[in-house]
A and B are shown apart, each in its own frame.
Chain A
Amino acid sequence: MQTNLLSKVTSDKSRYMSDKINHPELCQWLDAVATQRNKQAFTNLFKFFAPKILRIAKTKFPNEAQANEVVQETMTNVWRKAHLFNSDKGAATTWVYTVMRNVTFDMLRKIQGNKEDNLSDDIWPMAESMSSEEESFNDHLENKQLLSVLEELPEAQQEVVKGFYFSEMSQEQLATHLNLPLGTIKSRLRLALAKLRAQLGENS
């Protein structure tokens, strides 16, 4: 059963990063929650995700109160952890899915194993995916499409991005290596990432 489902899904990846979901809009809302604590944006996210989360939770939990708790917990974590969302790393749907999956995992473990150890954050760390932005970016960089986007950046920005993400040099090391002020490295990196983000946003 699982395999059937998946073969359908894997058969055409791009088809499922589809127009059925307005990804840029979800992404904007999540960013607005993260950066401005925007309640309206959160309400929009809630209206989009909560019913879907509830339906999925109902398939996993024997009673409605528990399914409701999954919605409550997941959406609370979306509010409280929005700053950990990194649009470079993937779609808002993917991020909310992981939040929901983790809440569900911990709750099932609590119900079935009687353990309140909340291991999901260790198994699927969110904080780390934030702090090791380099790594996740490396994965992205393996993607040819992204490489071509990178090639379109001005030389000076490319140099910084490649040094930072491919050679894993710190911003300080890069400043020394390229003989530039640290501030310049920082602003070039920021500019380059903003451009990449915009490009990738269009593509996803």
Chain B
Amino acid sequence: MITHHPKFELIQLFVNGQLPASLSAAIAIHADMCPKCQQQIALLTEQMAEVSFEEDSLQADLEQSLTTDNDSTADYSTDLTDEETLESLSIDDMVDAITMSDELAQTTVAADKTIIYQNENYVLPKTLSSMTLGKKATIGKLSRTRIQLNENEVRTSLLQIAPGGGVPEHTHKGFELTLLLEGSFHDEKGEYVKGDFIMLDSSVQHHPISKDGCLCYTVANDALHFTQGINKLLNPIGGLIY
């Protein structure tokens, strides 16, 4: 059973679209396996929508709270009424342009992407299907493939541990997220299973071992740029991530 879930703050940023793709994908994959988080996401999305599209002070609060995070918007005003804002948009032209084409968006479901590590064949979550994978690197019982998301210091990978393998004891200066896609592993703190979303910050030192093998999706950053670790990450617009 899944016992490790993303923190509430992360889920909220996910719903708002304020997390980098690496962490957004992790939460999406976790939620696909976790009805509890799925429900929370649905509820938060509904609430965010309501807050965003209703026209009272709450709307203003929201905008103000978002604006205070982003200095660059200070130079143009957002306190117009709907009518005033509409005047600045040429509705008829826009509507005409949009409705000119009657084409419906084609929704194609991508074929399953699989990856093989040390004779083990894994089907990757659909969330990852458009992402570009780098070359495989294998050292002993550890195999790693970078996922090329171009997020600067934030590095995203697939990590496979063959049965009986483990990651040597380490600490991380920034944060390290491990999402178990298949199999299980354990460390000093306990056992982790498929779907577990394990977010560690710099204070944690650990040594995961997988008895029967596992495949993980991992996201880690470089401490140099994120001296406040996870807290810095949670500031959605502040850093290099966003």
Contact = CB atoms under 8 A, between A and B. Distances in A.
Contact of A39 (B47, B50, B58, B99): B99
Interface of A: 1-6, 8-10, 13, 16-18, 20-21, 37, 39, 42-43, 46-52, 54-56, 58-62, 64, 68, 71-72, 75-77, 79-81, 83-84, 90-91, 93-94, 96-98, 100-102, 104-105, 108-109, 112-115, 117-120, 122-128, 130-131, 139, 142
A114 B151 CA distance: 10
Chain A interface mostly: helix
B128 interface: yes
Interface in B45-73: 45-56, 58-59, 61-63, 65-70, 72-73
A122 B25 contact: yes
Interface stretch (B84-92, B136-144, B191-199, B220-228): B84-92
Interface in B67-119: 67-70, 72-73, 76, 78, 80, 82-83, 85-86, 88-89, 91, 94-95, 98-99, 101-105, 107-110
Contacts of A54: 85, 88-89
A35 to B, nearest CB: 12
Given A5-B61, A8-B58, A46-B91, A51 B126 contact: no
B73 A20 contact: no
A55 B85 contact: yes
Contacts of A68: 89
Contact of B82 (A51, A100, A109, A117): A51
